[in-house]
C-alpha cells in the first residue's frame, strides 16, 4: 500500500520507532493518528511534525484497556474521515531476569501491552479496514520473536505470539483488500528500557553485548519499514543483526540460540 494520502494509525507514536514512523509517514504525504499512553511524548511528536502537524492527530490511549481501544476508531474517523492503515508499534520489554525469577505482575504487563494491546487494536480496526479499497496492517514483532533471548523469555513469547498472529492474519485476509506485514527489528536505538521501567544499570553493565550489536537509528528503522510496507512485503527484517540472526536461526536454531546466549549473558541479573 502506498502511504501517500492514506490515513494511518500508529501506536507507540510518542517515542522511538513509533514516533519516527509517524514523522516519516507525514513526510511521505500520509495523514497519521498517533496513539500513545504518554501525553507528553505525543506533544513532542506533534512539535517535531512541524509544517505537517495539520495532518497529525494525537490520541492518549492505554492499548491494554479494551474499552478505550474500542472507542478509538470513532475518534480517528472524526479527525480524518476514515482509516486505511494500522501500524502496531507500542511495546515494552521485561526486567532482565530468568523466567523462574520473574514476577507474575511483570509477566502479565508484558503480555498485556505486547500481545493483547496489538490484538485489541487489530480486532477493533479490522472491520473499518475491510471497507477501504486498499488497507494495511503492520505489526512489530522482534528479533526476539523468533530467537530465544535469555532474560527476555516472556518478552520473546509475547513477540512470538504477535508473529504468529500476524502471519495468521496474512493468510486469513489473502483474498481481501487488506495486506498484512510482520516486522522484526533487531537492536534499535530507542528508550524502550526506560519506557518499560527496566533498570538502566542492567544495560550499562552489558559492555560485551553493546559492542557486538550496534543499534540502528529509529529514523532509519522507520524508513526501512515504510519501504517494505509500500512493497506489501510479508516480513521485514530491520537491521543487519536481525537479518543475520534470522539466517543463522534458519540454518541451525540451536546454534543461533547458543550464540545469542553468549552475547547477552552479561544482561542477566544473578
User: For 126-159, how does the pLDDT look when each residue is reduced to its tens digit (9 = 90+)?
Assistant: 999 999 999 999 999 999 999 999 999 999 999 9
**Would you say the C-alpha torsion 203, 207, 213, 219 has a positive or negative sign?**
positive
- According to the model, what pLDDT value does residue 74 have? 98
User: For 39-51, how does the pLDDT look when each residue is reduced to its tens digit (9 = 90+)?
Assistant: 999 999 999 999 9
By the 8 A CB rule, do 144 and 152 touch?
Answer: yes
| pLDDT-derived band at 264, boundaries 50, 70, 90 | confident
CA distance 81 to 172: 27
Q: Give the active site residue among 120, 155, 234, 247.
A: 155
pLDDT over 50 (residue 207): no
CA distance 114 to 91: 5
User: For 100-135, how does the pLDDT look when each residue is reduced to its tens digit (9 = 90+)?
Assistant: 999 999 999 999 999 999 999 999 999 999 999 999
Over residues 12-18, the mean pLDDT reads 97
Reading the block at residue 260, the C-alpha cell is 545469542
CA distance 169 to 165: 6
Reading the block at residue 15, the C-alpha cell is 517515542
pLDDT: which is higher, 196 or 163: 163
Instruction: Write out the chain in H/E/C secondary structure.
Output: CCCCCCEEEEECCCCHHHHHHHHHHHHCCCEEEEEECCHHHHHHHHHHHHHHHHHEEEEECCCCCHHHHHCHHHHHHHHHCCCCEEEECCCCCCCCCCHHHCCHHHHHHHHHHHHHHHHHHHHHHHHHHCCCCCEEEEEECCHHHCCCCCCCHHHHHHHHHHHHHHHHHHHHCCCCCEEEEEEEECCECCCHHHHCCCCHHHHHCCHHHHHHCCCECHHHHHHHHHHHHHCCCCEEEECHHHHHHHHHHHHCHHHHHHHHHHHHHHHCCC
pLDDT over 50 (residue 202): no
**Would you say the C-alpha torsion 9, 73, 5, 173 has a positive or negative sign?**
positive
pLDDT over 60 (residue 78): yes
| pLDDT-derived band at 27, boundaries 50, 70, 90 | very high
- According to the model, what pLDDT value does residue 190 have? 67
**Whole-prediction pTM value?**
0.91
Helix axes 72-80, 117-129, angle to 10 degrees: 50
| pLDDT-derived band at 197, boundaries 50, 70, 90 | low
| pLDDT-derived band at 192, boundaries 50, 70, 90 | low
Over residues 186-208, the mean pLDDT reads 60
Residue 116 annotated to the active site: no
- According to the model, what pLDDT value does residue 144 have? 94
Over residues 222-235, the mean pLDDT reads 98
| pLDDT-derived band at 204, boundaries 50, 70, 90 | very low
Structural domains of the chain ordered from first start: 7-267 (3.40.50.720)
Amino acid at each position: 500500500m502506498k502511504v501517500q494520502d492514506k490515513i494511518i494509525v500508529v501506536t507507540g507514536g510518542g517515542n522511538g520507532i513509533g514516533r519516527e514512523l509517524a514523522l516519516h509517514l507525514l513526510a511521505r504525504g500520509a495523514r497519521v493518528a498517533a496513539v500513545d499512553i504518554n501525553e507528553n511524548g505525543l506533544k513532542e511528536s506533534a512539535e517535531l511534525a512541524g509544517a505537517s502537524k495539520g495532518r497529525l492527530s494525537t490520541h492518549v490511549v492505554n492499548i491494554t484497556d479494551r474499552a478505550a481501544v474500542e472507542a478509538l476508531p470513532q475518534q480517528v474517523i472524526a479527525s480524518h474521515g476514515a482509516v486505511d492503515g494500522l501500524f502496531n508499534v507500542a511495546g515494552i520489554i521485561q526486567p532482565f531476569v530468568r523466567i523462574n525469577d520473574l514476577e507474575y505482575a511483570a509477566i502479565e504487563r508484558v503480555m498485556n501491552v505486547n500481545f493483547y494491546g496489538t490484538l485489541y487494536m487489530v480486532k477493533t480496526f479490522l472491520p473499518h479496514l475491510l471497507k477501504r479499497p486498499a488497507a494495511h496492517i503492520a505489526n512489530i514483532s522482534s528479533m526476539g520473536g523468533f530467537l530465544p533471548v535469555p532474560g527476555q523469555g516472556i518478552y520473546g513469547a509475547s513477540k512470538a505470539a504477535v508473529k504468529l498472529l500476524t502471519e495468521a492474519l496474512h493468510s486469513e485476509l489473502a483474498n481481501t483488500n487488506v495486506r498484512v506485514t510482520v516486522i522484526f527489528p533487531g537492536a534499535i536505538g530507542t528508550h524502550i528500557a526506560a519506557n518499560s521501567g527496566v533498570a538502566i544499570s542492567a544495560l550499562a553493565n552489558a559492555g560485551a553485548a553493546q559492542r557486538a550489536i550496534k543499534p540502528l537509528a529509529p529514523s532509519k528503522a522507520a524508513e526501512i519499514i515504510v519501504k517494505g510496507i509500500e512493497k506489501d512485503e510479508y516480513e521485514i527484517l530491520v537491521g543487519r543483526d536481525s537479518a543475520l540472526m534470522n539466517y543463522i536461526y534458519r540454518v541451525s536454531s540451536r546454534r543461533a540460540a547458543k550464540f545469542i546466549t553468549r552475547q547477552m549473558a552479561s544482561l542477566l541479573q544473578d
